[in-house]
Amino acid sequence: MSEAKDYRIAAVDRALSVLEILSERGELGVTEMSKELGMTKSLVFRILHTLEARGYVAKDEVRSIYGLGYRAWHLGDEAAKQRGLMLAAEPHMDALRDRFNENVNLVVRDGLNTLVVATRHSRHSMRLYAEPGRHGPLHAGGGSMVLLAYAPADVRQETLAGTLTKYASRTITDPMELDRKLARIASDGFHLTRNDLDEGAFSVAVPIYGPGGNVIAAISVAGPVARLDKELQALILKEVLAASAAISSSLGVPTGVDQTAVA
């Protein structure tokens, strides 16, 4: 029987050990860390210097000790928010899938892309697939365009200035038209789309608000256009808006969306 291969990268493993001991013990000096970790002082210093340059550790120049930097705290905060988002969203995703038997997706923005963090699949034989971990564009797709509409100005500007790839017959590739569409989405508080990311597919997407009142995710119901009519679209929109409001409320932030305006 062959031995299992070890694919770990030693340098990354040692850097994570430094971060972990700072997380557990607080502020430490190079000498103390080298003893605790069984590394040479020179190696610990080089690791700390690299992590400090990236913002993951911070040095107290007066006492010559190190602690976690702003990027390490940011990672922890983002992980906590996403876990809280998942816990709040999952029951509503289950309910929407059971109600409409279509895909239900939860997406967040990852730089200039979107990232699927959770999905509930339709039980129909004809269905769409969007797996957790899948990255996508910001300028096409229901949840994607919701996230872009509410993104910081620099993100919108960079996206509009970049290549707007055409994915389907109704993908918007003109920057001015896309800018107008994003303004409409932000005004409406939701996005209804057909044939813009996947040909023959629809999406009904709504923003989810997090701490500070910012949009942190989008939830959508998506499926084949062949199964959608105006009455069902209106019903899906009403239910997705309600789910978004409930998720945002459980995260401690009212959405401010006037759901009574949607029939």
The tens digit of pLDDT for each residue in 60-78 reads 888 999 999 888 877 776 6
Numbered ranges of CATH 1.10.10.10 in the chain: 10-68
Is 147 within 8 Å of 218 (Cβ atoms)? yes
**What's the rounded Cα separation, in Å, for the pair 87 and 188?**
27
Mean pLDDT over 99-108 rounds to: 94
Which two tokens mark 63? 């006492």
Numbered ranges of CATH 3.30.450.40 in the chain: 76-261
pTM (global) more than 0.75: no
Range in 116-120, 159-163, 200-204 the model is least confident about: 116-120
**What's the rounded Cα separation, in Å, for the pair 176 and 182?**
10
Mean pLDDT rounded to a whole number for the chain: 88
CATH number of the domain located at residue range(s) 76-261 in this protein: 3.30.450.40
Q: What is the pLDDT of residue 73?
A: 77
CATH number of the domain located at residue range(s) 10-68 in this protein: 1.10.10.10
Strand order in 191-194's β-sheet?
A: 135-136, 113-120, 103-110, 215-224, 201-209, 191-194
Angle of the 10-25 helix axis to the 41-53 helix axis, nearest 10: 80
Is 239 within 8 Å of 253 (Cβ atoms)? no
Is 248 within 8 Å of 254 (Cβ atoms)? yes
More confident residue, 58 or 70: 58
Q: Over the stretch 191-248, which tens digit does the pLDDT of each residue have?
A: 999 999 999 999 999 999 987 788 999 999 999 999 999 999 999 999 999 999 999 9
Res. 261: pLDDT tops 90: no
Residue type, 60: D
Q: What is the pLDDT of residue 7?
A: 73
Q: What is the pLDDT of residue 263?
A: 30
